[in-house]
Amino acid sequence: MTAIADTATLTGRSLRHILRSPDTIITTVMMPVAFLLLFVYVLGGAIDVGTDSYVTYLLPGILVITIASSVSYTAFRLFTDLQGGIFERFQSLPITRSGPLWAHVLTSLVATAVSLVLVIGVALLMGFRPQASVLDWLAVAGILSLLTLALTWLAVIPGLTASTPDGASAFAYPLILLPFVSSAFVPTASMPGPVRWFAENQPVTAIVDALRDLLAGNAPGSAIWVALAWCVGILVVGYVVATALHRRRSA
Amino acid sequence: MATEHAIRVEALTKSYGDLEVLRGVDLAVARGSITALLGANGAGKTTLVRILATLLRADAGVATVGGADVAGEPARVREAISLTGQFAAVDEVLTGRENLVLVARLRHVEARGLGKPAAVASALLERFGLTDAADRRVGTYSGGMRRRLDIAMSLIGDPPVVFLDEPTTGLDPQARNEVWDAVRTLAAGGTTVLLTTQYLEEAEQLAHQIAILHEGRIIVDGTLAEVKALMPPATVEYVEKQPSLEEIFLAVTGAGAGAPAPQGGEQR
Ligand SMILES: Nc1ncnc2c1ncn2[C@@H]1O[C@H](COP(=O)(O)OP(=O)(O)O)[C@@H](O)[C@H]1O
Ligand SMILES: [Mg+2]
């Protein structure tokens, strides 16, 4: 299929961008690692989560933050392509219309995976001791990939519509803050009524709880189905809106 | 069978909200010719070119490129065209060579028997005097080099119809001459070129056919000689002077209608 070959060619191009400026990966990883250090070494002593290893408790939420921080670069890269006119050049070539968009999505998956591995590496150095089996790790990788895919399509929306580079990446801020009002840092039981209700019913808590169970080698509870439902829901909405906006660009 | 026109536009309209940019454009471009679409800044040249390149949909009217309808068969149109937009659409992070190889792959030059992408890239680098800079990032190129690379990228795969949107705007005179030479070479090879310009001199220099876009319509369309003939003949007078295209433009569009200077300053 030439459509697949073309998308692979375009993906190779944007991966090369990342190789040429690896600082985007470094900046992606910097904030989650800073949170990790801050919460484990500064605030962690005062937080009681009922386990001996706070870094193990914390990591799932930090991984969600890593994904949010990484996809904001996807929005930024897409925005840059649109501004520079190269996107229009691709659109006037005899290739699949959605190819340039998919190339950014696939690049986002690769860049995010690299960032996640780096953050997990730092956590291991800080004493993170997972009990997960190979199967559990596969499930963790599956959930993280699905969440990355969903948030990437969400990131395509500001990438296509923003009028400034800052606007394109700013959409990630709420995503980065969402874990703070979830079970990511402290158990939701410690929160006051309405906040607790929000925390227990927003996607990050389900995702974090599922990841935490899997990494601890426990059978995940119903949280995993709620987590998957949220990921698929966000993915469908993001994809539908993003592709509609992409089509409308030529109206 | 093969129509004699590479581009046909009939009663094409396009508005952005309340702003009627194209109000019924009619235009026919002969195969293998260079046609200059002349218009002041904001006349709608880019809008028309983007419709022809399938990047924008018209509100009404018909446009065909290479016999294919831009609205009905955009994929077939894209097989036949290439677009060099008003602003150089190059990848700043890649080198010049990588930019060319990228487009060569996307145009499937190898499968079409036009050579390997690397060979296609090398030949174009040579032809556009970019061999020395080939392996430098495009971010370090001057404006003229970028523009040359941009045009080189448009020629990959030998598309029969090439759109050039203000290809020399912002170039110094030397770079402009290089672009002009490239355009002439193209047309000599049988490629149909539709270029837009604000410069009357450019149209005079390059074009077989000149179409003037003003207030949403093509108000003048013909050969250079035909367009010049529209100028009221000189009366009386002791000195014989050929009217310049600029004077024709002023006469046709109404005096002082913001006709641009023939050649703006250039910057890198
Ligand atoms: N996307 C757009 N939305 C609203 N107005 C636009 C848009 N694109 C162009 N215009 C307006 O349409 C007119 C024609 O623009 P354009 O086709 O770029 O002219 P030219 O290329 O001849 O300078 C201008 O007044 C411009 O401001
Ligand atoms: Mg223009």
How high is the ipTM of this complex? Answer: 0.87
Same domain, B159 and B198: yes
Distance of CA B160 to the CA centre of its chain: 13
Percentage of chain B modeled with pLDDT above 70: 89
Q: Each residue of B228-261: pLDDT tens digit?
A: 777 665 555 566 667 777 777 777 776 554 444 4
**A160-183 mean pLDDT:** 88
Among chain A residues, the shortest Cα distance to B93 is held by: A17
Of residues B223 and B94, the one with the higher pLDDT is B94
Residues within 6 Å of ligand 1 by CB: B 16, 19, 21, 39, 41-47
Q: Identify the pLDDT of residue B227.
A: 80
Cβ–Cβ below 8 Å for B55 and A92:
yes
Res. B264: pLDDT tops 50: no
Two structure tokens written together for B205 = 């220099």
Same domain, B224 and B241: no
| d(C-alpha A142, C-alpha A135), whole Å | 10
- % pLDDT > 90, chain B: 58
Q: How big is the CA angle at B96 (ends B91 and B98), to the nearest 5 degrees?
A: 75
- With CB atoms and an 8 Å threshold, state whether B55 touches A88: yes
- 3-state DSSP assignment of residue A200: helix
Site to probe by mutation for ligand 1, drawn from B13, B20, B25, B47 as the one with most ligand atoms within 8 Å of Cβ, is: B47
Residue A148: which domain range? Answer: 2-250
pTM: 0.86
Judgement on whether residues B265 and B185 belong to the same structural domain of the protein: no
Specify whether B12 is located in the same domain as B121.
yes
Between CA A179 and CA A185 the distance in angstroms is 8
Residue the block writes with tokens 């340039």: A100
**Nearest CB to A9 within list B54, B91, B105:** B105
* Closest residue by Cα to residue A183 from A223, A219, A225, A127: A223
Q: Which residue has the higher pLDDT, A233 or B260?
A: A233
In this predicted model, which residue has the larger pLDDT, B268 or A89?
A89
List of chain B residues whose C-beta atoms are within 8 Å of the C-beta of residue A95 = 106
Q: Is residue B23 located within the same domain as residue B149?
A: yes
Residue A4 pLDDT class (50, 70, 90 cuts): very high
Is A129 at the interface with chain B, CB within 8 A?
no
The parent domain of residue B248 ranges over 237-268
Determine which of A1-15, A217-231, B170-184, B225-239 has the lowest per-residue pLDDT on average.
B225-239
Q: What is the pLDDT of residue B21?
A: 94
B213 and B241 co-located in one domain:
no
Residue range B140-159, pLDDT digits in tens? 998 888 888 999 999 999 99
Residues of B in contact with A107 (CB under 8 A): none
Number of domains chain A is built from? 1
Of residues B224 and A83, the one with the higher pLDDT is A83
Which residues in chain A are closer than 8 Å to B102, comparing Cβ atoms?
9, 13
> Which DSSP category does B137 fall into?
B
How far apart, in whole angstroms, are the C-alpha atoms of residue A59 and residue A129?
11
Count of domains in chain B?
2
To 5 degrees, how large is the angle CA B162–CA B166–CA B167?
65
Residue A21's nearest CA partner among B205, B139, B29 is: B139
Residue entry with tokens 């190789």: A19
Burial zone of B138 (CB within 10 Å; 0-12 exposed, 13-18 middle, 19+ buried)? buried
- Mean pLDDT is lowest, of A73-87, A96-110, A129-143, B241-255, for B241-255
My answer on whether B127 and B197 are in the same domain is yes
How sure is the predictor about A80, in pLDDT bands with cuts at 50, 70 and 90?
very high
B258 and B212 part of one domain: no
CATH at B186: 3.40.50.300
B59 and B98 in a common domain: yes
Of residues A90, A82, A211, A76, the one with CA closest to residue A141: A211
Residues B262 and B136 in one domain: no
Tokens 């030397």: give the residue. B174
- Stated length of chain A: 251
Which of A31-35, A127-131, A235-239, B245-249 ranks highest by mean pLDDT? A235-239
With CA atoms as reference, the chain A residue closest to B53 would be A92
> Same domain, yes or no, for B83 and B208?
yes
Contact yes or no for A89 and B98 at CB 8 A: no
